[in-house]
Amino acid sequence: MDVDRRPSDPYHIRGIRAFEQHKYAEAVRLWSSALHDKEGNAAVILCNRSSAYAQQGCWFNAAIDARQALQCQPDNVTAHYRLAQACFHAGQYKQCLNACQAALEIKPGAKQPRQLHQMAADFIRSNFMTHRNPEIGQAIVAANQAALQQERQSRQQQGLQRQVSEATASAILDRKRAHAIQQESFLRWGTQHGCNGSKMCVELGAADDPYKLLGVERGATEVDLRLAYVRAMKGAHPDKGGSTEQFHRVQAAYHQLKTDKLAGN
């Protein structure tokens, strides 16, 4: 969905859509407009913009927005975490520890602040160890950097999975709509030719095999019958090269087999 396709939506809603599409600069612009027009919760919008700045590596701006969010709402756990994250990537590990600690005091079970607190503590320890034992310090730094890289890859993977899920859901919805339109077309054509769906326009003879007319094996499930019916209707439809009689015979065959299934035959 294009972020500019719904200009009537509030800026902060359009900013969320832009962020989800990884258009971080556009998200910053929209959230800035939302703040200018005083839309929604200022602390939440500032936290969102801080996150967009962080995605672009603008840690200074991310920290400023986080601090402003805390001025609006001092007990905002997300704002404390955004500030801690910005301080961590700026190399301000003590400030990061303080921000993480503040978040944990408000919400002790917060997972992200606790993990970041541990990483900042490890970096401080590694800097101390580097002066006493360079090899140990370098090993700790390498381990922390690997953890950071893994965190970034995890966020990217989550974003890709969300995009795939949205695309899959959209494709399924499109197929359902196409199927509904096709079924409506079949019913409309049948009604125009004297078949209202509750009464068959033709009756199958004793020599007619409904399974053969639909092209399925005996013992087929109801789902198989339905799929075969749709395929047969496409070929039997007069607009697709079939005939009125063939169309009604396929319809009668499906009706008979469906009735038999319901009766348990």
List the one residue out of 118, 113, 85, 83 whose CA is nearest residue 100.
Answer: 113
Q: Note the pLDDT tens digit of each residue in 136-146.
A: 555 556 666 66
Share the mean pLDDT of the chain: 77
Give DSSP secondary structure letters for 156-216: HHHHHHHHHHHHHHHHHHHHHHHHHHHHHHHHHHHHHTT--SSS-SS---TT--HHHHHT-
In the chain, the N- to C-terminal Cα span, in Å, equals 49
What pLDDT, on a 0 to 100 scale, did the predictor assign at position 61?
A: 92
What pLDDT, on a 0 to 100 scale, did the predictor assign at position 28?
A: 93
What pLDDT, on a 0 to 100 scale, did the predictor assign at position 243?
A: 78
CA dihedral 197, 199, 200, 201 (to 10 degrees): -100
What pLDDT, on a 0 to 100 scale, did the predictor assign at position 148?
A: 65
What pLDDT, on a 0 to 100 scale, did the predictor assign at position 64?
A: 94
What pLDDT, on a 0 to 100 scale, did the predictor assign at position 214?
A: 81
What pLDDT, on a 0 to 100 scale, did the predictor assign at position 196?
A: 47
**In three state form, how does the secondary structure of 202-231 look?**
CCCCCCCCHHHHHCCCCCCCHHHHHHHHHH
Cα Rg, the chain, nearest whole Å? 31
Q: C-alpha distances in angstroms, 199 versus 11, 220, 227, 256? A: 55, 24, 22, 11
- Which residues in the chain come in under a pLDDT of 50? 1-7, 129-132, 196-200
Query: Which amino acid, residue 35?
Result: L
Going by the DSSP 8-state scheme, the letter that residue 37 receives in this structure is T
What pLDDT, on a 0 to 100 scale, did the predictor assign at position 205?
A: 60
Query: Contact, 180 vs 220, CB < 8 A?
Result: no
Length of the chain: 265
